[in-house]
């Protein structure tokens, strides 16, 4: 089955620790995206990548980092520099020149 997978589903982190969220897709999509969702708010774009080995900052990139070494994978690292990392993180992908993005199931990160 084609789709987007994210792991883990739930993640707990102590303050000061870096954590990496996984996002994998087997849809052969060129573009991949990371969003953050806070309660009562819409999704905000963290980073996106249109091709392998290239990515751009979104609206709220500070305290996050990404890599795109393979077309299928777009991991997100939440660093200790992110002041308020507790949130629901969603990964999405799309065919390069099309508007519709398809989402993974999300990772809920809680900082203790």
Binding site for another protein (CB under 8 A): 4, 31, 33, 40-45, 48, 50, 56, 58, 90, 94, 97-106
Cβ at position 80, least distance to another protein in Å: 27
Residue 67: name the closest of 93, 81, 92, 49 by CA: 49
For another protein, the closer of residues 4 and 66 by Cβ is 4
Cβ at position 103, least distance to another protein in Å: 4
Backbone angles phi, psi at 99, to 5 degrees: -80, -35
For another protein, the closer of residues 18 and 105 by Cβ is 105
Max Cα-Cα span within the chain: 40
Strand partners, 4: 25
Q: Is the peptide bond before 8 cis (omega within 30 degrees of 0)?
A: yes
Cβ at position 14, least distance to another protein in Å: 25
């Amino acid at each position: 089955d084609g789709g987007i997978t994210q792991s883990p589903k739930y993640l707990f982190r102590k303050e000061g620790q870096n954590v990496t969220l996984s996002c994998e897709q087997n849809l052969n999509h060129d573009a991949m995206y990371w969003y953050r969702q806070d309660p009562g708010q819409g999704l905000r774009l963290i980073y996106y990548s249109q091709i392998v080995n290239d990515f751009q900052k979104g609206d709220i990139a500070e305290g996050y980092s990404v890599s795109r070494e393979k077309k299928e994978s777009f991991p997100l690292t939440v660093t200790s520099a992110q002041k308020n990392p507790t949130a629901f993180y969603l990964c999405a992908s799309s065919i390069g020149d099309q508007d519709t993005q398809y989402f993974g199931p999300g990772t809920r990160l809680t900082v203790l």
